[in-house]
Structure 1
Amino acid sequence: MRNAARAVVLSCFLPALSSLAFAQVSGIVSLAGPGANPDYAERPPVKISTLTATYSVNSLVLDAETGAVISGGVGTAAITPNANANANAAAGNDDRFDIDERRPNKPTIDGLNTLATFDGAFVGQAGPSAGTDFRFTMIGNDPRRGGTTVYPANVDEVSLQLLNADGSVFQTVSYAPFEHLTLESPNFEPLNYTSGHGVEYADAIHRAEFNSVRRENWHTLMIPKVVNKTTITVPFFVNIQLKNGNIIQARSYFTGTASDGSTFVLMLSPLFNFFFDNEVVNEINLGNFTTNGINITAFPNTYLFSLNVNNPNVPGGCCTLGFHTYFLDGVFPESRWVTEYASWISPGIFGGGFQDVTALSHETSESFDDPFVDNPTPNWQFPGQPANSTACQNNLENGDPIEVLPNATAAIPIKEVNFTYHPQNIVLYEWFEMGATSNALNGAFSYPDPVLTHSAVPCPQ
């Protein structure tokens, strides 16, 4: 998620795609799969008043990079008061957690209406940033105080109705087959880790990185609830405006089949950005997405590709699996809705163990450690790169450094559903310090597996 001048959707730096063959759709012949080229970008915060209120997809013209509406939309989006902002979390699965001391999930930053956060800092220990303070804001309450902060994980399950060029329905790709497995995944299931027993995946990582200062009963807990099941209608073509002002018609999506028989969808990223933004605003207005929660749009095998300007009927670079950001209303006190897009990943589509909840674990851990996508770090080099590589970032996006590695995921079996999950290993904040040692649990730099055995390397100047 490299800082970029252009505001584009986050693209993951992934292991090579497995061999893909895209289905023939309405006379379009089968296509060779696109390359998984490294691409770093961020999904910036979204100000609701910049979005279009009403539209007809067929008349829309979207910006080629951001998905912003150039023409074909009417009015600006608005929100209704968030009646659920202080609601208690509601259960969405059958698990129960032992909470002996509950901390309030209320805003801890003056002027914000959002979820509970705590602040901290570390000092860079190497490179040009040695001796520089780096402050951060993370989800949870202060680990030194202990106790459990409970957040609703508001899940909006999105299905896709794909249209042919003549407007008839080609196929509907549903999230339903993945609902139960998502809710019972390590993201929400109490499991035993070296950092704690009966804890969720992101909490286990959080506890490992603050091991030297936290109280034993410190937890950051998500309670999942499916708040809506939505179907988005995806047109066959969409109008895109290029940088030079020219408007072209581009294919909106392509489909293929995973090894388990599931359909996967590649969607043009500007169109996805548009759909995502409007879907989040709809869920906010319905009271389903809340300022005190972690709001998740869950998609079924839906990956994003960039526009191929030279041939808009063939996918460009691929594939984005997820991103996190927040939506804001732009008034004070400012309301912020921390939000994720994550795709379920069927087996055999990607290499490197990327499957099932890899994307959800990646984005949730990043939401925990960088909820407002503004935590800075020393400029660090991606692991596994040549010594002179300038593939670097300078933010506390703790999923990114490991996603480039062949052993990026951990295998976690859950007997309850007879399924082995593949959440991503995550770097701990001590990795960004660039120090010789780590104060994290067992001196680790990554968790739960010791994928990285030393801290970050400064970016070559």
Structure 2
Amino acid sequence: MTSRQAAVAALAPALVLAACGPRGALPVATAQSIAERYQWVPRSGASSEGVDYAALATRRGAARTIPYYSGSIKSPLDGKTHDYEIAGSDPKRTTGVTKIPYLPIVLVIKFSNGTVLDPRKPGCGDTVSVADRFFEGPNFVATPLDSNGVNVGRVQLTDGFQRAEFWRILKSRNYHTVFAAVRTPLVLHVDAPKDAGTVKGVCAGNDHSVGVIGLGAYYAMTKRIVTKHATPMEVPVLLTYNVFEDDSSGCCVAGFHSAFGRPSGTQVFATAAYSDAGLFRSEIEDVAIGTHELGELLNDPFVGNATPAWGHIGQVSGCQSDLEVGDPLTGTEFVHVYHGYAYHPQELAFFSWFFRTHPTGTGGLYSFKGTLKGVEGKCA
């Protein structure tokens, strides 16, 4: 088994097995109070299904997908050479802008008790719709951004992150990886499974409730939507409001990114919940999960990039071996003000942190705001 095969074997059960086997009991049956809901632990996931990695590496049929480049790196941690694919263009060779087409999708979800969680409406305590906050916010609109004391330009958050993590090896400061919308947001009305449920949110009224859907059912639903409305040449980004998924580990999966094989190529997509502040004991609010998933999608678009084992940090209690740049810092946010609104994107780990190679990022550090110094998260 190659390092890539091992990584895929470790990742796939997170979502694919959840779709095929039994899931944990929905917490909504017992967690009716805010105090109980506050104990839920938000986390993110990733999965791949039927991806032809050999074809991607050699640019054969499965390579009909979003722009990406391939490379390899030897890590001093395990002495192994690890292959990878990253969305965009190689920062060591590229001097311009690479556009990643994306399809914005707004999911209006109706539950069997009549509750409708609608991103077209404002979140708790806000006057602007969740959809506008997200799709017209700093994940998709260029704003001034700095990382570890370095001005990385007027950029989208994830573009700024990729510039920052490869700052010391950029061939040109004109290097960018930009999400470009293929249309205005597509609004889809969907019914939650009958065994899904809701609990009270932090604001009064059903419009601000918290919805919980089984992970397997939600994954199957999103895959159907993606297959129907998108092509492998674009990234569907599915937005929900206060809707989370549970599995055998309990609640809550707040978002995930995935890749699956299609006859026409390799499809990648992401889904994320825009969540009200104060839902969880962890600092997860507004665009935090969206930033997490988009950053991971760019760094590991086909969910097959293997790394030396790391863990005991962020949302990872054990050890895992994948290039998931959000997982080591789940719950670590920073404030980014845009048009007078304080957004809370999640900090992301740099590429070199996973391999413990010489830092290529801003400030000689290993994450976007310097939380990671290079010694954290080691596994024997």
Question: 1 CA distance for matches of 2:177 and 2:345?
Answer: 18
Correspondence for 2:324? 397
The equivalent of 2:127 in structure 1 is none
Secondary structure in 1 matching 2:272: strand
Displacement of 1:352: 3.4
Give the CA deviation at 1:304: 0.9
RMSD: 3.0
Greater relative CO, 1 or 2 (CA 8 Å, sep 6+): 2
Given that 2:241 and 2:275 are in contact with CA atoms closer than 8 Å, whether structure 1 keeps it comes out as yes
- Aligned-pair distance for 1:41? 5.9
Shift of 1:195: 4.7
- Pick one of 406, 409, 422 that aligns with 2:344: 422
What is the aligned counterpart of 1:441 among 359, 362, 378? 362
Pairing of 1:362-377 with structure 2 (within 5 A): 362-377=292-307
Matches within 5 A, 1:52-451: 109-111=59-61, 112-126=63-77, 129=78, 131-143=79-91, 144-164=93-113, 170-177=114-121, 178-193=130-145, 194-214=150-170, 215-224=172-181, 225-236=183-194, 251-259=195-203, 262-283=208-229, 289-306=230-247, 317-329=250-262, 331=263, 334-383=264-313, 391-403=318-330, 408-414=332-338, 416=339, 418-435=340-357, 437-447=358-368, 449-451=369-371
Seen in structure 2, the aligned counterparts of structure 1 residues 361 and 6 have a Cα distance that, compared at 3 Å, is closer
Question: Which structure: greater helix fraction?
Answer: 2
User: What CA distance in whole angstroms lies between the structure 2 residues aligned with 1:211 and 1:295?
Assistant: 28
Quote how far apart the aligned CAs of 1:184 are: 2.4
**How far apart are residue 198 of structure 1 and its match?**
1.2
Question: What is the rounded CA distance, in whole Å, between the counterparts of 2:168 and 2:12 in structure 1?
Answer: 39
Q: Secondary structure at the match of 2:313?
A: coil
Contact 1:2 1:42 in 2 (8 A): no
The verdict on how the C-alpha distance between 1:422 and 1:370 changes in structure 2, with shifts beyond 3 A counting, is: same
What's the % identity of the aligned pairs?
22
The two structures have a TM-score, normalised by structure 2, of 0.81
Structure 1: which 5+ residue stretches go unaligned? Answer: 11-20, 48-106, 165-169, 237-250, 284-288, 308-315
1:74 corresponds to which residue? none
The answer as to whether partners of 2:38 and 2:280 remain within 8 angstroms in 1 is: no
Cα distance change, pair 206–298 in 1 and its aligned pair in 2 (3 A):
same
Q: Does the alignment pair 1:7 with 2:13?
A: yes
Q: Which residue of 2 aligns with 1:77?
A: none
SS of equivalent to 1:298: strand
Compared CA separation, residues 147 and 455, structure 1 to 2 (3 A)? farther
Distance 1:291 1:5, change over 3 A: closer
Please list the CA deviations of residues 382-440 of structure 1 after superposition, one character each: whole Å capped at 9, or x if unmatched.
3379xxx971110101111111x5xx1111011x2x211111100001101224x4122
Distance 1:180 1:5, change over 3 A: closer
Partner of 1:82: none
Aligned length: 340
Unaligned segments of structure 2, at least 5 residues? 1-6, 17-26, 52-56, 122-129
User: So what's the TM-score if we normalise by structure 1?
Assistant: 0.67
Larger Rg: 1
- CA gap of 1:149–1:42, structure 2 versus 1, over 3 A, is closer
Tell me which residue corresponds to 2:4.
none
